[in-house]
Amino acid sequence: MKVLAAFLVNTAFNFAIGLLVAKFLGPDQFGRFALAMAVAMLIQTTTVEWIRLVAIRFYSQKSRAEEPALRATLDVTFAIIAVVLAACAVALMLSGVTFVLSNALIGLAVGVSIANGLFDYHTALIRARFLDSVYARMMLTKNVLALLLTVGGAWIAGSALMALTGACLSMAGSLISARAALSDEEAKPRLASLERALEYARYAMPIVAANILYLAIAFANRAMVTHQFGFAETGQFSLAFDIGTRLIAAVGSGLDVLLFQIAVRAQETHGSEKAREQVATNMAIVFAILLPAGVGLWLTLPSLEQLVVPQEFRGPFGHYLALMLTGMFCFGLMNYAINPIFQIAKTTRPLIACALVACITEGVLINLLPGSLDASRFAIAQAGAFAAAMIALLFYAATLKPRWPRGRDLLLTAGGAILMAAIVYPMRAWTPGVVTLLVQAAVGGAIYLGVVMAFDIAGLRGQAMRLVRGR
């Protein structure tokens, strides 16, 4: 539970930091910041994300003791890639070649990709060993430093450059704070193996390739919005996407922090069939929590926008987020409910085909949808692309003959979300504000929680009772 609590606190910090950075930078500088962060995430995913995925899937307390070559291989590989990236960034800075973003912003984007990749890799190692206290300390340190350095840089300088510098330093500081727990004396560099690295890469690269294609969709949309409407509109578009994605991902990732490692442990100790059963249970839980979270976000959007979104972003924020929300929900289901089927089975190549479906759908929709005076066409196309990819992923998953969640749980989840929406929807017409938001959250939460407890959806009632008895 410490891991889940730490993740929820991390989510709250990320939400606040994103809004504060947008407020202090303004639409134009935030547009540059958002585009640089998109570049950083694309670089990270392309180069080092696979190392994190391998750590989550194969590293554990048992493998740490019995296979030190695993950690040594991952550490050495990451170090080599980081050096190559840094050299490429320096070469770019000295080349004189120019892009839409300045070379300084691109160089910092490379720095962010290395720092964030290193942070994500080490938190994956900590999660795999179930070191809850260390995980919580790393998250808290990173967020406090980000509040001081990233937000502070945006506030003092009003510059995307300073905000990105603060982001790099905050992640580096978090790693320093947990250096003792992160070290592994047995994983000596001489144990690193090229053969092992290639074996791990074959497992993770299809997942990485799919994620690159999804990131490319988001990056291409921001680039096209910048080309057609300028950096200010990119800032408006990006804030809605970033905040909505973070909120949906916060719910899914918070569950994934616990559930996927449980499935991996089940396979390690009880075999593949037990792991498949656990994945089916995990899918039901993710759906039972992610669906009402997405519906609740849409229901409370007017009040959330009024209360937390900076003045210059209001209006476009709610408009774009409403258009993209369905796609965000589908993307969350793909990552946290459906992808584990392929990861446990170690059959990840179909993920690339589904990402290609998303890219094709995006291109078709952008060309078919009528033009507009803002970026609405890109928001709708992006949502449609993610929805198409989820449908394709379900078809591919069916070919593996997995254990599926009970239809009863899925139907009751949908019914509970519909009932919640039907009762809370009239409140959307109320004057946005704190009172409206609190009433909507209380009424909607009580309705859905009542349905969950009455019908024990996805076994959540039983788990809650066991937790209460344990305490």
Q: Note the pLDDT tens digit of each residue in 209-223.
A: 888 888 888 888 888
pLDDT at 470: 59
- Would you say residue 442 lies in a domain? no
Q: How far apart are CA 97 and CA 103, in angstroms?
A: 8
Is there a single domain that holds both residue 180 and residue 235?
no
- Would you say residue 269 lies in a domain? yes
pLDDT in tens, 229-254: 888 888 888 888 888 887 887 777 76
Decide: pTM greater than 0.75.
yes
Last residue of a domain, one of 175, 192, 209: 192
Is there a single domain that holds both residue 73 and residue 133?
yes
pLDDT at 325: 93
- Would you say residue 448 lies in a domain? no
Tokens standing for residue 361? 């759908």
Last residue of a domain, one of 144, 160, 192: 192
pLDDT at 333: 93
Burial state string for 174-213 with b = 16 or more CB within 10 A and e = fewer than 16? bbebbeebbeeeebeeebbbeebbeebeebbbbbbbbbbb
Q: What angle do CA 111, 112, 118 make, to 5 degrees?
A: 95
Instruction: Name every residue whose Cβ is closer than 8 Å to that of residue 235 and which is 6 or more positions away in sequence.
Output: 22, 25, 26, 27, 28, 29, 30, 31, 34, 313
- Would you say residue 55 lies in a domain? yes
Is there a single domain that holds both residue 322 and residue 222?
yes
Q: How far apart are CA 127 and CA 258, in angstroms?
A: 9
pLDDT at 2: 56
Is there a single domain that holds both residue 129 and residue 203?
no
Question: Could you say which residues of the chain have pLDDT below 70?
Answer: 1-8, 10-11, 98, 100, 254, 257, 466-471
Distance between terminal CA atoms of the chain? 12
* Cα torsion 414, 420, 422, 426: sign: negative
pLDDT at 450: 93
Last residue of a domain, one of 163, 192, 221: 192
pLDDT at 177: 77
Cβ atoms of 6 and 174 within 8 Å: the answer is no
pLDDT at 392: 95
- Would you say residue 221 lies in a domain? yes
Is there a single domain that holds both residue 167 and residue 226?
no
Is there a single domain that holds both residue 169 and residue 219?
no
Is there a single domain that holds both residue 180 and residue 200?
no
Is there a single domain that holds both residue 253 and residue 366?
yes
pLDDT at 31: 82
Tokens standing for residue 451? 């349905």
Q: Give the three-state DSSP class for 149.
A: helix
pLDDT at 358: 95
Split into its structural domains, the chain has a count of 2
Q: How far apart are CA 298 and CA 421, in angstroms?
A: 9
Is there a single domain that holds both residue 357 and residue 236?
yes
Find the length of the chain: 471
Is there a single domain that holds both residue 209 and residue 166?
no
CA distances from 452 to 369, 413, 447 (A): 40, 8, 9
Write the single-letter amino acid at 106.
Answer: I
Q: What angle do CA 435, 438, 441 make, to 5 degrees?
A: 145
Q: Which residue has the tokens 């995913």?
A: 45
Is there a single domain that holds both residue 218 and residue 165?
no
Is there a single domain that holds both residue 184 and residue 202?
no
- Would you say residue 419 lies in a domain? no
- Would you say residue 283 lies in a domain? yes
- Would you say residue 426 lies in a domain? no
Range of the domain at 269: 195-405
